[in-house]
Amino acid sequence: MSVSAVANVTGTPYFSPTSHSKSNDPILRRSINSLLQNRRDIKQVKSIHAKILKNHSLQQDPFVIFELLRLYSKLDSIDDATKLFQCTGNPNVYLYTALIDGFVSFGSYFDALDLYVQMVKNSVLPDEYAVASVLKACVFYLALGNGREIHGQILKFGFSSNRLVVLRLIELYGKCGNFEDAWKVFDKMPQRDAVASTVMMTCYCDHGLVDEAMSVFNRIRTRDTACWTAMIDGLVKNGELNRALVTFREMQAENVRPNEVTIVCVLSACSRLGALELGRWVHMYMRKLDIKINHFIAGALINMYSRCGDIDEALVLFNEMKVRYVSAYNSIIVGLAMHGKSIEAIKMFRKMIKQHLKPNSVTFVGVLTACSHGGLVEIGFEIFHSMTRDHGIEPRLEHYGCMVDMLSRMGKVEEAYNFIERMEIYPDNAMLCALLSACKIHGNTLIGEKVAKLLSNCSSLDSGSYIMLSNFFASSGRWDFAAKVREKMEEEGIVKEPGCSSIEVNNEIHEFLAGDLRHPQRERIYKKLKELSYLAKLEGYSPAIEESLYDLDDEQKEWALAVHSERLAISYGLISTEPCTTLRVVKNLRICIDCHSLIKLIAKITNRRIVVRDRNRFHHFENGVCSCKDYW
């Protein structure tokens, strides 16, 4: 498809909003437009449209058609908008632009580009708004070639001084990773304001170039709320969570008021870090600024409290909501599932259905995860089959993964393997790793060998997949195969993701790696850890050295287990907080059996409540037991 035909266009649009109206009844036209302006129901719009069709003087009135096109597009009825446009004789540039906008809003970017070409071929001269609209389609479609052609036309027709057009060009080149041309457009702007800089900054963040984005951000003289929010959002999306929170504090220091989007971004950072106290402070800060809790913020708050370990506060917030959207139900269902409250999650799901809210793909991931964590196989299959049967949702890979995980946790490895064989889509690494782990735990070498073969044939293995393969072979004493897997991993330049745990103390996040010696309090931390290990052994603790799947002697294996990151984080929490304070630790990997056994005893010995969030779920340790009932 080419848009170069516009280079030969001359003339003016067939209609303009101020002339060539075919309506002989301007009062009637104004009355119709007034009726259309605030319609939010597609049936009402169609009813008014039917009345318009009966009035021949209004059928081709560009004002009326424009308003109908806008409403059909706004209400996601793009087919009706297209049919209306096709029945319009000699549409003007405004009508073309309205439908191009509609296609972009609906996600039909190719159709938007195609319509622009049609407009040009029909000798309708584009204006700045039409060009800006089609450039937006190019941005989303990453259509750099088409965008370059339109850029040439912009120069020819003198639109290069239009601010909106220039911003779209910067965004196009930036989103496509062509920062050299983006800077050329940026540098030619008569007035380079914070908005243009924010566009550049966002594009860098989209490509993971956080330092470059921060460099642009630091050069902006007057930074408004949108600018600060874009930088915080970019940092969060790139996993730079601590930097995001530091940037938020700087925003406060400069007395720039956050908006709802800023708050959602900051709460997301708190959620992922497990920074409960900071999240609570943000919640109070919102009240101080009188920022209203809409359904987006409510969902973010519920998610924050859930993921930071306070599911009770999340439930309080949920119950206080006057209107509950699907997103809020999703947040609380996922939260309950993570905390092992499987029955409560299923009840919440059924309550949602009774209220005639339509569950989506995320809802089913949450409730199926709850079934998996609770070992509720029959209910899990009942809900899984209801997806298509009752709700018209085709299961995706993540839903199949929940079912395999559920069967694997119950030790039903043969059923899980047969389930995978019956699937219409190929299993992913995570699904196969879950089953392979179950085969290792339950000693089913036969199925394990089959799963290992499937996993080896996957096109792109990540570090976790390689480690799982290596661990499977090591657990059965096949050290030569385990070594070969690790050699292949090294050849492909894949580095094992290190175990990392964090703990929040006095509103600061402290991170630890396995065997970490970087912390200023390292001597006290290791002294406390040694003391805890000694006391735990008096309580009957014996290191599960079989968990250390390296070809080492027993003493080396015991040391490797003793310095796991979550133990260091807990030790630091114990020496840094008052007695009886709850400790909350976040770990990036699944907690191992040995650490799980030890932490139960630490909770008993120290009379502390210890909450650990690992990759899969929450573990609430208290009085020598864990909320997961040793099932994770």
What distance, in Å, lies between the first and last C-alpha atoms of the chain? Answer: 54
* Residue 196, pLDDT above cutoff 90: yes
Confidence band for 7, pLDDT divided at 50, 70 and 90: very low
Residue 30 banded pLDDT, cuts 50, 70, 90: low
Q: What confidence score (pLDDT) does residue 462 get?
A: 84
pLDDT the model gives residue 90: 87
Amino acid at 488: K
CA distance 621 to 511: 20
The whole-number average pLDDT for the span 254-270 is 96
**pLDDT mean across residues, the chain:** 88
For the stretch 555-563, contacts whose Cβ atoms lie closer than 8 Å and that sit 24 or more positions apart, written own/partner, are: 560/514, 561/592, 561/594, 561/595, 562/529, 562/533, 563/514, 563/515, 563/516, 563/529
Residue 505, SS3?
Answer: strand
Single-letter code of the amino acid located at 353: I
**3-state SS, residue 509:** strand
pLDDT for the residue numbered 16: 40
Residue 510: strand, helix, or coil: strand
Query: In terms of Cα–Cα distance, which of 315, 301, 380, 375 is closest to 340?
Result: 375
- 412 versus 485: the higher-pLDDT residue is 412
Residue with tokens 């081709």: 60
Which pLDDT belongs to residue 241? 95
Instruction: Provide Rg for the chain, Cα atoms.
Output: 30
Reported confidence tier of residue 45, pLDDT bands at 50, 70, 90: confident
The pLDDT score that the predictor gives to residue 194 is 87
- Rounded to 5°, angle at Cα 557 from 554 and 561: 140
Locus of tokens 């994770």: 632
CB 433 within 8 A of CB 456: no
Round to whole Å and give the CA distance between 261 and 273: 19
- The more confidently predicted of residues 551 and 482 is 482
Measured distance CA(252)–CA(286) in Å, rounded: 12
Q: Answer yes or no: are the C-beta atoms of 473 and 461 closer than 8 Å.
A: no
* DSSP reduced 3-state for 586: strand
Give the sheet arrangement for strand 500-505, strand by strand. Answer: 508-513, 500-505, 583-587, 610-613, 618-622, 625-626
Per-residue pLDDT band at 418 (split at 50, 70, 90) = very high
- What average pLDDT does this structure show over 184-191? 87
DSSP-derived 3-state class of residue 584 = strand
Sign of the four-CA dihedral 240, 241, 242, 246 = positive
Residue 293: partners with Cβ closer than 8 Å, 6 or more residues away? 286, 301
Query: How far apart are alpha carbons 333 and 531 in whole angstroms?
Result: 40
At 86, give phi and psi (nearest 5°): -65, -25
pLDDT value, residue 71 = 83
Bridge-based pairing state of the strands 610-613 and 583-587: parallel
Confidence of residue 56 (pLDDT cuts 50, 70, 90): low
Which alpha helices (DSSP H) does 55-193 contain, by range? 56-59, 62-74, 78-86, 93-106, 109-121, 128-141, 144-157, 163-175, 179-187
Residue 183 in this model has a pLDDT that exceeds 80: yes
Query: Average of pLDDT values for 49-70?
Result: 73
Instruction: Measure CA 95 to chain center.
Output: 36
Q: Which fold has domain 1-159?
A: 1.25.40
Q: What is the pLDDT of residues 423-446, one digit of tens each?
A: 989 999 889 999 998 998 888 989
At CB < 8 A and 24+ separation, what contacts does 252-258 make?
Answer: 254/223, 256/223, 256/224, 256/225, 256/228, 257/225, 257/289, 258/225, 258/228, 258/229, 258/289, 258/291
Of 145-149, 211-215, 467-471, the range with the lowest mean pLDDT is 467-471
Top mean-pLDDT range of 29-33, 49-53, 461-465, 536-540: 536-540
Overall average pLDDT of the 294-315 stretch: 94
Q: Which whole number is the average pLDDT over 394-415? A: 94
Phi and psi based region of residue 133 (left: phi greater than 0; alpha: psi -120 to 50; beta: remaining):
alpha
pLDDT score at 87: 85
Task: Number of helices (H) and strands (E) in the chain: give both, helices first.
Answer: 33, 6
Query: Cα separation of 568 and 587, whole Å?
Result: 11
Q: Which residues contact 446 (CB under 8 A, 6 or more apart)?
A: none
Q: Report which of 132, 136, 139 is spatially closest to residue 178, judged by C-alpha positions.
A: 139
Tell me how far CA of residue 158 lies from CA of 42, 165, 317, 539, in angstroms.
39, 11, 54, 82
Lowest mean pLDDT among 140-154, 238-252, 462-476: 462-476
Q: How far apart (Å, rounded) are the C-alpha atoms in residues 219 and 170?
A: 17
The confidence score (pLDDT) of residue 391 equals: 95
Phi/psi at 586 (5° precision): -115, 125
Give the per-residue pLDDT at 266: 98
- pLDDT 10s digits, 135-165: 999 999 999 999 999 999 999 888 988 999 9
Asked if residue 198 has pLDDT above 80, the reply is yes
What is the per-residue pLDDT for 35?
58
Strand partners, 16: 19
Contact 362, 333 (CB under 8 A): no
- Please tell me the predicted confidence (pLDDT) of residue 363: 97
